[in-house]
């Protein structure tokens, strides 16, 4: 991988990331946390439906969009 080099395919990126972060490459290890995450699904869904992200523009001279 070099700046301005040929584009990398998705498979190339997958191999590179796997070498950088081997602990994240195993789907089996990730599945161990799914039950813990699942118990919070309803709460997370509710929060995503009802919570907005305020955009603070005070002091920066712009208006929110």
Continuous H helices in 1-62:
10-20, 22-25, 27-31, 34-38, 41-50
Domain-wise residue ranges, the chain: 10-39
pLDDT digits (tens, 9 = 90+) for 36-58: 889 999 999 999 888 776 655 55
Q: How far apart are CA 1 and CA 7, in angstroms?
A: 9
* Mean pLDDT, rounded, for 20-36: 77
| pTM, entire model | 0.36
Residues with Cβ within 8 Å of residue 23, at least 6 apart in sequence? 29
Q: How far apart are CA 5 and CA 26, in angstroms?
A: 29
């Amino acid at each position: 991988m070099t700046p301005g080099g040929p584009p990398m395919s998705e498979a190339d990126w997958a191999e590179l990331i796997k070498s950088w972060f081997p602990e994240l490459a195993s789907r089996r290890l990730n599945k161990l946390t799914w039950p813990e995450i699942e118990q919070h699904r309803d709460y997370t869904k509710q929060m995503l439906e009802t919570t907005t992200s305020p955009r603070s523009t005070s002091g920066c001279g712009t208006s929110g969009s």
